[in-house]
A and B are shown apart, each in its own frame.
Chain A
Amino acid sequence: MNELLKKYSEQIHSILAKYPPEHKRSAVMPLLFLAQRESGAVSRQAMSDIAEVLEISETEVASIVGFYTLFHEEDRQPPEGGGIRYRIQICTDLPCALRGSEEFADKLCERLGVKIGEPTADGMFVVEKVMCLAACHRAPVIQLQGNGRIDYYEEQTVEKVMELIASLRRSAAEVQR
């Protein structure tokens, strides 16, 4: 049984309605976003479900996941005790770098005691450097991914990000309770 179709039947049908029936492959990216909504990553099973709905091969779906940076294959090692892993993505492209985003990234890593790409001790956060986010005038800017959303936080300081991290940890603790 196609789990994804069962779970999101209504959404999937309204996505498919956007494209000509003979070109339903167009729905592959919207369906991947849908599959990624809950855990922030796409499972093998979801890729297979999407392939079935769109009548394309699993390899074709996987190639889309691999090509586009906003799709994430399910982590081999999820955070201890499960839960969400957030990606704190800092734009360090030229215009942001001119406004101090690289120093900002270094300081944030130092505060968290991690290197770029290395999870925090509780496994809940990873700091990454990313390419232009179209927010050059409000650098430093971060993009937060993990809960199926992509949220911008502009004109950031290390303090502001630490507050954001603390609040995400608090809500995660509440969910566990």
Chain B
Amino acid sequence: MSEPIILRHRHIPDLDRLNVYRQQGGMETFEKVVRTMKPGEVIDEVKKSGLRGRGGAGFPTGMKWGFIPNNLWPHYVVANADESEPGTFKDREIMEKNPYQFLEGLMITSYAVQANTAYIYLRGEFWYLAEKLDACIRQLEQDRLLGENLFGSGYALRIHTHLGAGAYICGEETALLESLEGKLGQPRLKPPFPAVEGLYGRPTVINNVETLANVPSILEHGAAWYRSIGTAGSPGVKVFSLSGHVNRPGNYELPLGVPFRELIFGLGGGIPQGRAIKAFMTAGASSSIVPATEEALDTPMDYESCEQKLGAPLGSASIIVLDETVNMAWLAMKTSHFFKHESCGKCTPCREGTYWMMRILDRLVAGKGKMEDITLLESVANQIKLKTLCPLGDFAVPSVLSGIKHFRRDYEMYCRR
């Protein structure tokens, strides 16, 4: 593996100090962008790079920025640092160890859409990271990299942190905006999309922390360089959060397109206690369960391959490894408790559906279920799927349906005949 692009702090000590970050060439790209590039040129470069959203949806970042209309002002940029998907812990490391790269990405993004105010929305548990970022922001203000009339260009930028308070739903971008406006974190009906009516009803770009941390290198080295990493459809690098039954869990930065096998058995050191791998999840608790066949393990970890070959999204790339001891009905019971707890209650299929799935799964796992419960569970899951306001409902379904499909015996084990 060549030099990391995102997790650079692992090679450079004290990268979370502004003087060290600047010694490494940090903030030069922001200065170059503001001094020499037009906002539209920045957007074009990111479009050409093929960077896709690293938060989960994988939407092309440059295209998202391009949707911001120039006849409605002011514009806002919001960094989504609400990281709450079970199995995901990458943004936390980036903000803790390499905060200035993330901030530089946020600053370049703000310039690209000519936003003068940017917010960082962090989950409440990350209050210590908010304090750290606040200190970083003060440093940047002292160095005149944030504030009024930057580099004599007339461009002004202020960044503020904002803490959530324990709600997975606030990772969904419109729920996040509601929460930032001081309301309950419940998603909005789309359209209108945030690019047109976002924060305070104004055009808003919302990008994940890792997505933003990719931006400085793209503007420094160019789109062609970025495209030389990863695959044609999924250029660049990704931070993979590896958890579950694996010897060396943690974050690993890899070019997109490396096979699962290399992550799980190479870097991750394989399965503890000599057990066999049974399955894995690709995108945290919200993804389907993929049986660990040879073909599945050889699948490249990029957006298209995961979708096409495994029917599972790469999403936030949070790989949860499941060994032979895991019963998939038990697993679905765990995920159903999570999604039931985190459902915001706004729309009926999700609010009621997650509750009933949890009830059925609790009953099954307690040994009080019947065979008919499996069919009932499938039916409830299918009544949630694609019928909810936001993706949370859809996220609650795959672990249930894929488990029944591939590991029906695990469910039958629990049933009374």
- The smallest beta-carbon distance between B151 and chain A, in angstroms, is 24
Query: Which residues of A have CB within 8 Å of B160?
Result: 18-19
**A29 in contact with B162 given A23-B200, A64-B184 (CB within 8 Å):** yes
Contact between B89 and A54, CB atoms less than 8 A apart = no
Contact between B84 and A132, CB atoms less than 8 A apart = yes
Contact between B241 and A68, CB atoms less than 8 A apart = no
Query: Which residues of B have CB within 8 Å of A143?
Result: 125
Q: Is B167 an interface residue (CB 8 A)?
A: yes
Query: Which residues of A have CB within 8 Å of B344?
Result: 67
Nearest residue, chain B, Cβ from A28:
B182
| Chain A binder among B16-24, B29-37, B335-343, B401-409 | B335-343
Query: Which residues of B have CB within 8 Å of A26?
Result: 162, 180-182
| Chain A binder among B6-14, B242-250, B357-365 | B242-250
Query: Which residues of B have CB within 8 Å of A18?
Result: 160, 162
Q: Is B47 an interface residue (CB 8 A)?
A: no
Contact of B165 among A32, A135, A152 (CB under 8 A): A32
Q: Is B105 an interface residue (CB 8 A)?
A: no
Contact between A95 and B163, CB atoms less than 8 A apart = no
**A98 in contact with B326 given A29-B182, A69-B166 (CB within 8 Å):** yes
Query: Which residues of B have CB within 8 Å of A139?
Result: 243
Contact between A68 and B124, CB atoms less than 8 A apart = yes
A87–B251 Cα distance when bound, in Å, is 29
Contact between B123 and A134, CB atoms less than 8 A apart = yes
Q: Is B226 an interface residue (CB 8 A)?
A: no
A42–B123 Cα distance when bound, in Å, is 19
Task: With a 10 A CB-CB cut-off, give which of A20, A27, A98 has the most chain B CB atoms.
Answer: A98
Interface size class of A (residues with CB under 8 A): 35 or more
Q: Is A115 an interface residue (CB 8 A)?
A: no
- The smallest beta-carbon distance between A94 and chain B, in angstroms, is 5
A145–B46 Cα distance when bound, in Å, is 42
Nearest residue, chain B, Cβ from A61:
B182
Query: Which residues of A have CB within 8 Å of B244?
Result: 94-95, 98-99, 136
A161–B252 Cα distance when bound, in Å, is 29
**A137 in contact with B242 given A18-B162, A70-B124 (CB within 8 Å):** yes
Contact of A133 among B125, B249, B334, B341 (CB under 8 A): B125
**A136 in contact with B166 given A27-B182, A64-B184, A131-B342 (CB within 8 Å):** no
A134–B87 Cα distance when bound, in Å, is 7
Interface size class of B (residues with CB under 8 A): 35 or more
Contact between A69 and B165, CB atoms less than 8 A apart = yes
Q: Is A153 an interface residue (CB 8 A)?
A: no
Nearest residue, chain A, Cβ from B180:
A26
Query: Which residues of B have CB within 8 Å of A150?
Result: 124-125, 127
Task: With a 10 A CB-CB cut-off, give which of A25, A70, A139 has the most chain B CB atoms.
Answer: A70
Q: Is A117 an interface residue (CB 8 A)?
A: no
Q: Is A63 an interface residue (CB 8 A)?
A: yes
A135–B128 Cα distance when bound, in Å, is 14
- The smallest beta-carbon distance between B60 and chain A, in angstroms, is 26
Q: Is B291 an interface residue (CB 8 A)?
A: no
Query: Which residues of B have CB within 8 Å of A30?
Result: 162-163
Nearest residue, chain B, Cβ from A56:
B182
**Using a CB-CB cutoff of 8 Å, which residues 97-124 of chain A contact chain B?**
97-99
A26–B78 Cα distance when bound, in Å, is 14
- The smallest beta-carbon distance between A162 and chain B, in angstroms, is 23
Query: Which residues of A have CB within 8 Å of B185?
Result: 67-68
Contact between A63 and B88, CB atoms less than 8 A apart = no
24 A-B residue pairs with Cβ-Cβ distance under 8 Å, sorted by A, are: A19-B160, A25-B181, A25-B182, A25-B183, A29-B179, A30-B162, A67-B344, A68-B165, A69-B166, A70-B125, A70-B165, A93-B86, A94-B87, A94-B320, A95-B244, A99-B244, A132-B84, A134-B83, A134-B84, A134-B125, A134-B126, A136-B88, A136-B89, A137-B249
State the 5 A-B residue pairs at the shortest beta-carbon distance, nearest first: A69-B166, A68-B165, A25-B182, A137-B249, A136-B243
Q: Can you name 12 extra interface pairs (CB under 8 A) apart from A95-B320, A99-B244, A134-B123?
A: A29-B182, A64-B165, A64-B184, A67-B184, A94-B320, A98-B322, A99-B243, A131-B168, A131-B341, A132-B85, A134-B83, A150-B125
